[in-house]
Chain A
Amino acid sequence: KAGVTQTPRYLIKTRGQQVTLSCSPISGHRSVSWYQQTPGQGLQFLFEYFSETQRNKGNFPGRFSGRQFSNSRSEMNVSTLELGDSALYLCASSLETSGGFGYNEQFFGPGTRLTVL
């Protein structure tokens, strides 16, 4: 069974640009979560999607957005990039059901390393 895949693996952008990151979950997983990891703040939750709907959201500005497609693949977008957005962006998928979030383990992808210059 293929794991969670994320593309691209590395990305370099300049301030003010926007970026779109992609995540393909494990087949059959309908829940996809996104996280930002930086040395200063650790691993922080961005949002979670289930069946194309954003179900949970972390404390990030509106510049960070996401969506999920009918095949459960997900994308996240960051607009008007700032230097502080440089981070490892991780995607995780889970066999969650419509009834809740947290019962099942999350499977993480390798991440996309975003550098903002």
Chain B
Amino acid sequence: DAKTTQPNSMESNEEEPVHLPCNHSTISGTDYIHWYRQLPSQGPEYVIHGLTSNVNNRMASLAIAEDRKSSTLILHRATLRDAAVYYCILLNSGYALNFGKGTSLLVTP
């Protein structure tokens, strides 16, 4: 299985950018890199995904390393509502898709 590695927790100040790293050194060429977040007492929520190129949407940016062995989720201005557990996963048919424990982001005012 292609696996991902993320820090257990990170902390950020409100209105500052946040860079959440993810390592996926065993990624295969057809794996999509997805990011989800989970707020307390809710199901996970889609944030962004990409294959090879950097991606931007209204929620965040995804920077993918040239060798695709790592990626970084960028929240441009963290708000208190961004406090959540962030999961980096690889999606492709045939894989067991375990989210792991993700990175718990704490945002302080």
Contacts and interface: CB of A to CB of B under 8 A. Distances in A.
A108 interface: yes
A107 interface: yes
Interface residues of B, number: 26
Interface in A62-117: 90, 92, 100-103, 105-111
Contacts of A56: 93-97
B60 interface: no
A55 B94 CA distance: 8
Interface residues of A, number: 25
**Max count, chain B CB within 10 A of own CB: residue among A35, A101, A105, A110:** A105
B46 A105 contact: yes
A109 B43 CA distance: 6
Interface of A: 4, 33, 35, 42-45, 55-59, 90, 92, 100-103, 105-111
25 contacts: A4-B43, A33-B97, A42-B100, A42-B102, A43-B44, A43-B99, A45-B98, A56-B93, A56-B94, A56-B96, A56-B97, A58-B98, A59-B96, A90-B43, A92-B43, A92-B44, A102-B32, A102-B34, A103-B32, A105-B34, A105-B49, A106-B36, A108-B36, A109-B43, A110-B42
